[in-house]
Structure 1
Amino acid sequence: MAFSAQESRRYARHLVLKGMGGGGQQALAQAKVLVIGAGGLGSPGIAYLAAAGVGTLGIADNDAVAVSNLQRQIVHSTAGIGLNKAQSAAGFATALNPHVAVIAHTARVDADTAKALIAEYHLVLDGSDSLATRRVVAAACAALAKPLVAGAVTMFDGQLTIFAPHLGGPRFEALYPPEAEDGDLPSCEANGVLGPLTGVIGTLMAMEAIKLICAIGEPLIGRVLVYNGKAARFSEFNY
């Protein structure tokens, strides 16, 4: 596909970027990416994927925008309080880049809906805040051989990784054993989260997605990147 003059100007910094160039931008334009959860992690992921020119961007969230979300969920606005998050985020993404086809999925992602939904996309970003949802999404991605970029945050700390068993990486259960439950993990609602932390991890999730789509560098498969916000340090471990 050929880019219009307007698209060429929009993506000019990508087109001149060694290792990205026209081939990488074409790969982005042909990619279909699903973001599950239009919250703290999904917001920067949605913003940067839309800005980068992903061809089709799906956004799945059945929740409504609340005033307490606005401290970190940057794709929503005060005027959007009460709106469905997927629809609110879709409006943001379309306004940012009209060349991207944006699809809002307002139904809950669960064991009954995950596989059919994910089958329509090439790659998934999971920013949901429920371990049960994450487990369902991971199982569907593994069954469909779709890469899954997963992030998590709490208080001042965050982490991200890529689950891609079909590419030789470990499965979701290697990091989150079957006996783990939501009650075992720290809750943002109870413990809080610093707003910019979600931007750090969510933006890195978009970065990993773009790397996968464009075959750039070394993706975080089998590795967890950990960010300590208080100490301003990154570390990683294998699993």
Structure 2
Amino acid sequence: MLWLVVAYLGSLGVLLVSAFWTTDTFTGAVVRTVTGENIVRVLTEAVFRTATLRTVGVALAVTAICAVLAVPLGLYMAKIATPAVRLALVVAVTTPLWASYLVKAYAWRILLAPEGPLASATHYTPGYGLVATVATLSYLWLPYMVLPVFAAFDRVPDALIDASADLGASSMTTLRSVVAPMVFPGVAAGSIFTFSLSMGDYIAVTIVGGKTQLLGNIIYGQLVTANNRPLAAALSLIPLAAIVLYLLAMRRTGALENV
């Protein structure tokens, strides 16, 4: 509790306060004078609105792609695969989590390069940009969706599925009416990880995004390149607010009990 209050909530409090400070235009030093100029800029400038919509769109796209891939895989792992195959799949899903984030991101940069393996094999590559960003983030965060979905399918009693079949329901009806409501909290739990991690990412976007700018890149640029920490803090409130709103929406699904 002490760590949560001091290290986490305390740092968020400092972030919120510093968003209302400003910088000296000559020295770049932070001036602790309360002003709403940064908040006004964040809310009114078109470039920030565009980046916000693009970032939320990317996070939702990554979440949807991960869910589409994780649901059939989780179903197969939990209900169809033999114990040996299930173990092999669990190892295959979790092994990438032990690999370096940068190694995986640069691997996708090499794969999507104009002269890379994908172009050589298929004579097509999306190159660096928004598509590459979504593909790379989907790969990076897929295990965080697969694991809670697999656990949700595993908790569905086999007897319940058998009872549905005995009562005359087809396989699709059983999946839709019996299994899906029980598995949905697991999907929602995985979406919390994929959405929040995509909202805050800026490294993969820098590596494979080309000219694509998401909020993370802009925040990093204001913090490091422009040395405007108050504006960076004000911009950081946008993904923070988006994640809080998403958590509140997912709370009604029972997802937080499956995280």
Q: TM-score, normalised by structure 1?
A: 0.20
Bigger radius of gyration: 2
Tell me which protein shows more helix as a share of its residues: 2
Higher strand share: 1
Q: Which has the higher contact order (CA 8 A, sep 6+)?
A: 2
